[in-house]
Structure 1
Amino acid sequence: MAYSAEKTASELPNRPQKFTCEKHANKILGALNSIRKKRHFCDGWVLIDGAEIPVQKGILAAASHYFRLVFDKENDCSNSPDSTSSSADNRPGVVDLSPLQITAETFEIILDYLYTSEIVVDEDNIQNILQAADLLLLVELKQACCEYLLKCITAQNCLGIMDFASRFNCSWVHLKSTQYLENNFRDISYYGEFLQLPVELLIPLLSMDTLQVRSEEDILYSILRWVMHDEEKRKSHLPDLISNCLRVQLLYKDSVNKLPDLYPDIHSLRVIEMIQDKLKNGTGVTERSRGIINLLMCAGGDTRVIHNPEECSGVRRDAYCFYIPYNSTKPGGHWLELPSMTQFRCSHSLVETGGCLYAVGGKDIEDRILTTGEKFDPRANQWTTISQMHHARFGFGLVAIDDNIYAIGGSNDVREPTTSMEVYNIFSNKWAPLPDMNLKRVWSAYAVVDKKIYVIAGGMVGKLYESVECFDTSTNTWASVCPMRERRCDARATACRGNIYVFGGFRRYECPSAMHGGNNIKFCGTEIYNTALDSWQQVPRQHEFLCRMTDASQIFSVVKNGEEIWVIGDLEMDGRFECIRAYNVFSRSWRTVSVSGPPNCRGYPCCMLHIPKHLIDLMVKDK
């Protein structure tokens, strides 16, 4: 930068300044892309099935750990006095990719991507590109391919994507395609991928407890469709399929008698006799029901009333799910006890992802701030520990985006909050640091929209915030967005249809008359944030039907359940307290879900979790 001659010395900067050109990186990449077509600018070659593709070694090594290792090894060998060149056809800088079965066309597409950061994937090339990205250790490209696959899952290709994801270690795609199979089994069973499954894969699939079926007849009919797809070769497998997969006690009584009407040639397969034999031999044995139920779950928190004087702490570790019977017409349900956590926790956070519940941080019975975490797998019906966070924290945020869990802010001592943030991957079981927030915050509200994390309000000792920060997980950067209308701490938030709903929280009255009256704590009203418009809307007090707006109310958790938002806590309603109130985002109306909460608990975090139906049946029976 040049300064005009008229400026005096006092007007000039008195310290060095840093300048950044945002276009520089793209300009350099563009120039490298244009000159790579000229061979005298290239210092290496890639061989694929006889084709020789000129490359720039530095670019390949910077983009791909695979090429970096190859070229490092080549350099080490060339510097060794007693070794010969290990490069392909004994020329330095030559890499033969033919053994990896990557086509020249696929490599050219990837090479263009390395220089331009742009690539077009479709159903014709996705398999080749993902396979090559996996072999060449191109992590970002592989992730982009996985995101494309997630958008492509249908009943026709679900099983193929499951198999493909398993072969190339796309763990999140495999998990999501498995969940799609569980929820859409009946539709999938009509398509070619299912009908062409080998029997060794069909039996474990049809044995799954979590298949969502209207009735066990869906399993029976899928077995018959599979057998009749190649009857001569497959009819010998029928006894094993009926014995290992079909839960005959769950069939309707008249369904077997109706089989000849649906399948006129059924008698030749002796299916009816096999089912009747299994019914006779299985007398007294109860078969598990299939399916999963999405239920509200809580874990840990504080004890409402300590009955035992010897207890020095009210911190809990028990866990419950809230179950409403199918035919229930009145508010209320059953709090069913699940296995307890491995550790006592309060002021901690819960989140669900990948079909499991994660409990992290908080304080234990000795008031120690925790770095530990654990997860509950509803299929195994047990808690197991996970790796520890880098920072102990309580009163912090815990949100999940795909297979990553983000721990944000909170406090790691009793005096001052932290700005730190870290991320946990459910498959690697490792935490990694991320850029810090701009403000130190504790007891903020948190929500996720379009893979962006919003940290809302909160505060520190002596100061509350209305400010909102947004973390973009695609760029790992923080930005400030429109602040709330009313500052607060200890609020709760959730996202629904692109909007963020913030409920409750507390702040001090700023009116001197209210402070002198002894009631100086205000329970804050609901605000709604429109992420597209970057604006907040405050719900008028006369339309606030969540609860009475007094400091006697406290919100423990807010969760999205379908098209409703459930608010859980101590909610004062005209002389009594309710536990769960539901807000319908379409009708903008409230209803009572449950008056009572889990026994003798308060301050417990909640989230929704899919739990196998047979486990619920067992708990209801025991209760």
Structure 2
Amino acid sequence: MVGASFLQLNKVRDACADFLKTRFHPQNVLGIRHFADTLGCTQLVTSADRYIHQYFSKVAFADEFLALNFDELVDIIHRDELNVPSEEYIFEACMKWVKSDQEKRAGYLPNILASIRLPLLSPQFLADNVATEELIRTSHKCRDLLDEARDFHLMPERRALVSASRTRPRCCDYVVGQIFAVGGLTKNGESVSTVEIYDPVTKEWKMGEAMSMLRSRVGVAVMDGKLYAFGGFNGTERLSTVEVYDPVQKKWKQGKTMRCKRSAVGVAALDELVYVCGGYDGVTSLSTVECYSPKTDSWTTVAPMMKYRSAGGVAALGGFVYALGGHDGLSIFDSVERYDVSTNTWTKVRSMLNRRCRLGVATLGGKLYACGGYDGSCFLRSVEVYIPEKDQWQLVAPMNVKRSRVALAANMGKLWAIGGYDGESNLSTVEVYDPKTDTWTFVSPMRHHGGGVGAGVIPNMVK
């Protein structure tokens, strides 16, 4: 690659870069990135950055990470795109970096802490892990940052005074994983337990392990590399049962049952918890919200939504849980509300441009997308995007096909609209939205589903 770069043999250089991409590993990716940067090979630098972002929690404990200089460390930990379950991983990685050469690096700690988003750490972690660090306790600047983070939790009314760079949740757009289409319907409208998996490498769907129960209108979330299927409808009754898929063991097991039966339910994973919002219990649309902790395997009830929402869309963005559209049995909504975890309250935000139930919702690039659905008279192919900084919705390119009951998933920097119902038949087709070109393109259809699936992306694991 050095020789090809020197001789300006760009095709040879690019072939070398493609080879190196296949050899990325948490132990070598920082070295490859540095090498690519010295040669000015931007495509390899970009690919290395994406790998670092997706697998930061493993990269951060490699020897190469400890060998970074101060400027390189801060450049990485500053990034919004780091994919971490919580800010704790970044704090612990930085403390390990400092302590690996404490005599030379302790003086950098105030500047490092300023790049860590301390207010996003839990009050318990701040008290038990941050405040007890001797290097932090003996530095005025470090203690000031710690006090700011504590005040963020103790005095919500002063949060606007804290720098946005320290309170903005991280958002990894470019996770590469396998898309799981879970449950749903046959062409004839019967509930199924079938699971199909889309592999971005082969660009084909393959069969996965089926769930133990039939589930259509099921809620799906992914957390810590496991996929959860919540509630749904088995063709006879609404379900409160939960199943969990472990991709390592390739097995489903029974999870802790919800307190309520729920089909047409919206779910979102945020900060090591899964929020299960609204739905239909067989009698009425629901406003109640349950919160599941995989760590403690327990359910708690949090504040109910402002509206009863069945067949709405739910997604996490910027540290909030958003609930969009849906219906209460009488009216279909364009309204949107969001849940603030720190205050346990729901607040109304800007309504969508269209009324939608049975819509697909996903987040990508720090924005919230609402896709397809049904407005009470028409099946929709329109798509709109919410920009939280502006509190504004705007239309983007419509899908090629009308889709209600559509599942929407973000993967590889794109949105995948999976299945649905066009007003006449259940759909097995899939199309992909590229935000860079504002276009939708068909990809391989599902083989064994007729729409109405739940969808989740399990990130590829480091080999």
Give me the TM-score of the superposition, normalised by structure 1: 0.46
SS in structure 2 at match of 1:424: strand
Q: Would the aligned equivalents of 2:184 and 2:449 in 1 still touch at CA under 8 Å?
A: no
The question of 1:579 aligning with 2:429 is answered yes
* 2:448 equivalent to 1:591: no
How far does residue 498 in structure 1 lie from its aligned partner after superposition?
2.1
Deviations 1:249-281 (A, max 9, x none): xxxxxxxxxxxxxxxxxxxxxxxxxxxxxxxxx
Deviations 1:177-225 (A, max 9, x none): 996455x39x9244669xxxxxxxxxxxxxxxxxxxxxxxxxxxxxxxx
2: distance between equivalents of 1:343 and 1:387?
A: 15
Which of structures 1 and 2 has the bigger CA Rg? 1
Q: Give the Å deviation of 1:570.
A: 4.6
> Are 1:399 and 1:407, in contact at CA under 8 Å, matched by a contact in 2?
yes
Describe how 1:358-369 pairs up with structure 2 within 5 A: 358-365=228-235, 367-369=236-238
- Give how far 1:522 is off: 3.9
Q: Distance in 2 between matches of 1:191 and 1:418?
A: 48
CA apart distance, 1:335? 2.0
In structure 2, distance between residues paired with 1:580 and 1:600: 11
Contact 1:353 1:402 in 2 (8 A): no
Distance in 2, matches of 1:178 and 1:597, equals: 27
1: CA distance between counterparts of 2:266 and 2:405? 15
1:428 Cα offset (Å):
0.5
- Displacement after TM superposition at 1:578 (Å): 6.6
Q: Does 1:410 align with 2:260?
A: no
Match status 1:317 vs 2:317: no
Task: Please tell me the residue identity of whatever aligns with 2:436.
Answer: F
Q: Deviations over 1:498-537 (max 9, x none)?
A: 211111111234xxxxxxxxxxx34252111111111111
Residues in 1 aligned to 2:219 and 2:287: alpha-carbon distance in whole angstroms: 17
Runs of 5+ consecutive residues of structure 1 not aligned to the other structure: 1-153, 157-175, 194-291, 307-313, 327-332, 510-520, 615-623
Residue in 2 that maps onto 1:469: 337
* Structure 2 CA distance for aligned equivalents of residues 568 and 375 of structure 1: 21
Q: How much has 1:571 moved relative to structure 2?
A: 7.8
1 CA distance for matches of 2:56 and 2:65? Answer: 15
Q: How does 1:13-412 map to 2 (within 5 A)?
A: 180=56, 182=58, 184=59, 188-190=62-64, 294-305=177-188, 314-325=190-201, 333-365=203-235, 367-412=236-281
Gaps of 5+ in 2: 1-25, 29-51, 68-174
AA paired with 1:352?
A: V
**1:547 and 2:400 correspond:** yes
Structure 2 distance, partners of 1:179, 1:360, is 27
Letter in 2 for 1:316: V
Q: Give secondary structure in 1 for the equivalent of 2:183.
A: strand
Asked if structure 1 preserves the Cα contact closer than 8 Å seen for 2:373 and 2:406, the reply is no
State the distance in 2 between where 1:192 and 1:439 align. 50
Match of 1:447 among 286, 296, 315: 315
Conserved 8 A contact 2:181-2:196? yes
Please give the alpha-carbon distance, in whole angstroms, between the structure 2 residues aligned to 1:577 and 1:300.
Answer: 14
Q: How far, CA to CA, are the matches of 1:469 and 1:460 in structure 2?
A: 15
Distance 1:191 1:533, change over 3 A: closer
What is the CA deviation profile of residues 432-485 of structure 1, one whole-angstrom value per residue up to 9, with x for unaligned ones?
Answer: 000111111111112211110111111122311111111111221111111112
Distance 2:268 2:181 in 1: 16
In structure 1, what is the Cα distance between the partners aligned to 2:230 and 2:391? Answer: 31
Give the number of the structure with larger relative contact order, counting CA–CA contacts within 8 Å between residues 6 or more apart.
Answer: 2
Change (3 A) 1:303 1:454: same
CA 1:190/1:548 → structure 2, altered by over 3 Å: closer, same or farther?
A: closer
- TM-score normalized by the length of structure 2: 0.60
Q: Which residue of 2 aligns with 1:239?
A: none
Distance in 2, Cα, partners of 1:320 & 1:296: 8
Quote the sequence identity (%): 22
Does structure 1 conserve the Cα–Cα contact (< 8 Å) formed by 2:420 and 2:426? no
8 A contact 1:379–1:611 mirrored in 2: no
RMSD, aligned α-carbons:
3.2
Alignment-derived partner of residue 391 in structure 2: 534
Q: Against the structure 1 CA distance between its residues 298 and 180, is the aligned structure 2 distance closer, same or farther, given a 3 Å change threshold?
A: same
Structure 1 residue 417: Cα displacement: 0.5
Distance 2:381 2:376 in 1: 10
Task: Please tell me whether the aligned partners of residues 424 and 432 of structure 1 are also in contact (alpha carbons under 8 angstroms).
Answer: yes
- The one-letter amino acid paired with 1:562 is M
Deviations 1:366-422 (A, max 9, x none): x111111011011111111111111111111111013100000111124x2011001
- Name 1:426's counterpart in structure 2: 294
Task: State the number of aligned residues.
Answer: 307
| CA 548–301 in structure 1, closer or farther in 2 if over 3 Å, else same | closer
Query: Cα distance 1:576–1:456, how it changes in 2: closer, same or farther (>3 A)?
Result: closer
1:561 paired residue among 388, 403, 411: 411
